[in-house]
Amino acid sequence: MKVVSSQWSVVRKSSIGFALCTMLFALCNSAHAQQTRKVFRIGYLDPSTPSGSAVLLDAFRQELIKLGWIDQKNFTIEYRFAEQKNERLPDLAAELVRLKVDLIVVTGTAPALAAKGATSTIPIVMTAASDPVASGLIDSLAQPGGNVTGLVSLSPELNTKRLEVLKDALPKLTRVGLLRRPEASISEDHQLKELRTAAQALKVKLEEIETQADAEKLVRAFQTAKQKQVNAIMTTTNRQFFAERKHIIELAAKYRLPAIYFQKEFADEGGLMSYGADYTDLYRRAAHYVDKIFKGTKPSDLPVAQASKFEFVINLKTAKQIGLTIPVRVLERANKVIK
């Protein structure tokens, strides 16, 4: 009987042990299921408009989906647009922080500064900042430190290249109208310095025309450009001008002014030429930063990357409309020619 009792005791202990293991396994599975069911909230901060940013936002969303994220299932996006008014950015950033979003995606330097001013803990991912080190957003590209990381677009350097391309396309170019905002950001100040130096080297007069990115003021800006007898038009790189690209393209056609722009979407939608970073690629790459952060990587451990894809697009339809012949040597350099 003692032997039987001892065996029963062993069986009973084994059963209890098995039951405990089963309970622990179930609890672990339950905790894992709760963790995987978490819906991450992304805050999106943009100084421009929803319609002006739609094409880039779609690229960002689609890349997240390719990475395995499901919209409205395990991530949602809280959109905040300043509608061309940068002074609204700090309040919109503070609003996203109050909503307790898990991460904030910003489009450039101004919204990044607003977001960083609102939080030092929520991760911030830049899609296309110009010079985040000079503006104090990060310590360095390799070691950003803090809660900000993402991508830079190299805007100042590319503006100089755009002016050179414009000169090559228009050998007799002597006067260029530069559309710029009155309240220049740190990034735009840098762009202006680079452009002024490049204009002197190319022996081109740079007519700086201050304008806000709204319909009425843009009309006046083009009237001013015509009065100043400019041979061509370009703009500083900013989200506001991108959002109003259709109107700018229409005005350039109306006044028969050759123009070069900073994103391919301008040329795709009827602008004469564009040269710059592939912003669609930058937004896709930003989705990879978000993916890594949601999976546990700290923003400070993710080096800030530079734009790596650049495109030169020429729209020959537009050239024909304004009576311009693009030199063959310039056409041969284009990545894409729209006929």
Residue 182 within any structural domain of the chain: yes
Residue 234 within any structural domain of the chain: yes
pLDDT at 1: 41
| Claim to verify: residue 301 and residue 254 sit in the same structural domain | no
10-residue block means of pLDDT along the chain (339 residues)? 44 49 48 62 96 94 97 97 93 98 95 97 95 92 97 84 95 96 76 91 95 93 96 92 95 97 95 95 98 97 95 97 96 96
| Claim to verify: residue 180 and residue 50 sit in the same structural domain | no
Residue-wise DSSP of 247-316: HHHHHHHHTT--EEESSHHHHHTT-SEEEEE-HHHHHHHHHHHHHHHHTT--GGGSPPEEP--EEEEEEH
| Claim to verify: residue 209 and residue 273 sit in the same structural domain | yes
Residue 304 within any structural domain of the chain: yes
Look at the pTM and tell me if it is higher than 0.85: no
Q: What is the largest CA-CA distance in the chain?
A: 114
pLDDT at 332: 96
Angle at 315 between CA 314 and CA 317, to 5 degrees: 150
| Claim to verify: residue 123 and residue 89 sit in the same structural domain | yes
pLDDT at 238: 87
Answer whether 63's CB lies under 8 Å from 5's CB.
no
| Claim to verify: residue 163 and residue 232 sit in the same structural domain | yes
User: How many domains does the chain fold into?
Assistant: 2
Residue 94 within any structural domain of the chain: yes
Q: CATH code at 116?
A: 3.40.50.2300
Beta pairing partners, 275? 312
| Claim to verify: residue 204 and residue 236 sit in the same structural domain | yes
| Claim to verify: residue 123 and residue 200 sit in the same structural domain | no
| Claim to verify: residue 190 and residue 319 sit in the same structural domain | yes
The dihedral sign for the CA sequence 129, 216, 235, 316: positive
Residue 135 is part of which domain span? 40-153+279-309
| Claim to verify: residue 188 and residue 325 sit in the same structural domain | yes
| Claim to verify: residue 299 and residue 256 sit in the same structural domain | no
pLDDT at 205: 96
pLDDT at 23: 52
Angle at 123 between CA 295 and CA 278, to 5 degrees: 85
**221-226, long-range: CB within 8 Å, 24+ apart, which pairs?**
221/179, 222/251, 222/252, 222/254, 222/255, 222/257, 224/177, 225/177, 225/179, 225/255, 225/257, 226/255, 226/257
| Claim to verify: residue 142 and residue 219 sit in the same structural domain | no
Q: How far apart are CA 141 and CA 145, in angstroms?
A: 9
Buried/exposed 299-324: b ≥16 CB within 10 Å, e otherwise: bbebebbebeeebbbbbbebbeeeeb
pLDDT at 6: 46
Q: Which amino acid is at 237?
A: T
Answer whether 140's CB lies under 8 Å from 133's CB.
yes
